[in-house]
Amino acid sequence: MREILKGLYGAGILFFYYTKWLILIGLPILYFGLDYHSNVSMNILWFYSLALAIKDFLQRFWLK
């Protein structure tokens, strides 16, 4: 069970490492520019991507 959770955690880190900026920038464009309907699961992913972007910013510029 522990190995499965480690694998899911690692896959989540890799997924959001490469897609956080796409989700963070693209979702507002879809909602406001292209009039897509709001989706709760995508909103949750957007907030998670925002938290990861803030964490990266703080680690890179503030917590040297």
Neighbours of 3 (CB within 10 A): 7
pLDDT in tens, 9-59: 777 777 777 888 888 899 999 889 898 888 898 899 899 889 888 888 888
Tokens of 47: 């907030």
pTM of the model: 0.71
Domain boundaries, the chain: 2-62
Q: How far, rounded to the nearest angstrom, does the alpha carbon of residue 36 sit from its chain's CA centroid? A: 19
Label each residue of the chain as H, E or C.
CHHHHHHHHHHHHHHHHHHHHHHHHHHHHHHHHCCCCCCHHHHHHHHHHHHHHHHHHHHHHHCC
pLDDT band (50, 70, 90) for residue 60 = confident
